[in-house]
Structure 1
Amino acid sequence: MDMKLSDYAKKAGISYRTAWRWWKQGNLTGHQLPSGTIIITSEAIEDNLKPDLIACIYARVDSAQNKDNLDRQAERLKDYAIARGYKIYKIVKEIGSGLNDNRKQLAKILVDPNYNILIVEHKDRLARFGTNYLEILLKELDKEIEIVKQSEEEQDELMDDLIAIITSFCSRIYGLRRSKRKTEKIIAELKYNGQECD
């Protein structure tokens, strides 16, 4: 039975905006009435109710020194996606802190309409904080985040993030000139206390 695009969207469990995008991209078969109403044909409905799982892979490391790890991370994610039977739309590699909220590559893929699964190796690869907000945003866009490994032990990277936080707060409290000295002092004390605990 043919149905309106809005009814198709409800049946497929997607937003009308996504159904409209699929229609515009030619992924749905049907016709448009003179009134503007889009009718999806019955033959196409069953085929299209389960869209292809199209993956965007996002790999990230903190610094250029870890570029080899970035390449290996991307390869592992690619193998994972292939094993799951996903179509790979794009592999995005980025160098930048997980605390940086101005990562250009991540910003681009968050609004990219051409995939429906965002694959990351660890939650921290996406962001150190606020990943729940990203999940909510992507869910609204009919996308999901797939995290391959749920936990991560990366002490060096956590230390880099801690230094970034301390530097940021010191520059706000003490001004740019004194912040470097204050940051170095705090980090030295943290390292000293950490060694005492060992």
Structure 2
Amino acid sequence: MNRRLRIGEASRVLGVSVSTLRRWEREGKLKPYRVGKERRYSYEQLMELLGEKRADAVAIYARVSSRDQKKDLERQLEYLRKCVEGKHQKVYEVKDIASGIKEGRKGLLKLIELARLRKIRAIYITYPDRLTRFGFDYFVEFFKALGVEIIAVNGKEFKEPEKELVEDLIAILTSFAGKLYGMRANKIKKMVKELRDEG
């Protein structure tokens, strides 16, 4: 079903001002529907316009699990910067300090937003596990549907540090323990501490 957006919503989708939208209407570039005195814009038409306007832009994405890995985060970014240097008109730098299994990562959501608004053509990562710990192929298909290619510059072999893998496993156990047993936060923290101490 084709969504019809108000002028304010349409301006946010396109990343232009309301006055620009009105000018484009006068120029015949956009043809909104009228509902009484209000304009309504076809979402599909906006996406077509974005597709025509989309610059040669890409995103580079780096991720580590914890703050004490910030040096590794910067190494990833520096490596990716060199990989795309001079090849594209614009490069968005996106990063996360979070587990690869965590939902709602700010950086990942930013990538989805950039792809949804057709602002990028590709996402560069060092290895697949930087983007997600599980379901990498699903992410590839998801972004492909938005016209965005995911490029793992070092291939598909997973290269997670041992410590980070332990952190992700603890995150999985913590999540399942809380859901399955309804454990209180202090009990979960105690369990996690014991797991780390044993590791």
TM-score interval, smaller chain: 0.5 to 0.7
Which sections of structure 2, spanning at least 5 residues, go unmatched?
1-43
Q: How far apart are the structure 2 equivalents of 1:120 and 1:16?
A: 31
Q: Report how far residue 88 of structure 1 moved.
A: 3.8
1:171 aligns to 2:178 (yes or no): yes
Question: In 2 relative to 1, CA 88–76 (structure 1 residues): closer, same or farther, beyond 3 Å?
Answer: farther
1:74: Cα distance to partner? 0.4
Residue of structure 2 aligned with 1:127, choices 103, 112, 132: 132
Query: What TM-score do the two structures reach when normalised by structure 1?
Result: 0.65
**CA deviation after TM superposition for structure 1 residue 17, in Å:** 7.7
C-alpha RMSD of the superposition? 2.6
Query: Could you tell me which amino acid in structure 2 is paired with residue 143 of structure 1?
Result: V
Q: Which residue of 2 aligns with 1:146?
A: 151
Residue 95 of structure 1 is aligned with which of 90, 94, 97?
A: 97
Check if 1:54 corresponds to 2:57. yes
Q: Which amino acid aligns with 1:56?
A: A
Shift of 1:123: 0.4
CA offset digits 1:75-128 (Å, max 9, x no partner) = 100101127x34442111221111111111211221212110100111011010
2:61–2:123 contact (8 Å) kept in structure 1: yes
**1:144 partner letter:** E
Residues 16 and 103 of structure 1, relative CA distance in 2, 3 Å threshold = same
Higher CA-based Rg: 1
For residues 197 and 91 of structure 2, what CA distance do their matches in structure 1 show?
45
CA 1:129–1:21 in structure 2 vs 1: closer, same or farther (change >3 Å)?
A: same
**Aligned position for 2:165:** 158
DSSP-derived class of the 1:79 partner: helix
Unaligned runs of 5+ in 1: 1-14, 28-51, 192-198
Shift, 1:53, TM fit: 4.9
Q: TM-score, normalised by structure 2?
A: 0.65
Q: Compared with structure 1, are the counterparts of its residues 186 and 95 closer, same or farther at alpha carbon in structure 2 (3 Å cutoff)?
A: closer
On the 8 A contact 2:101/2:134 being kept in 1, the answer is yes
How many residues are paired up? 149
164-173 or 119-128, larger mean C-alpha shift: 164-173
Q: Is the 8 A contact 1:18 1:142 kept in 2?
A: no
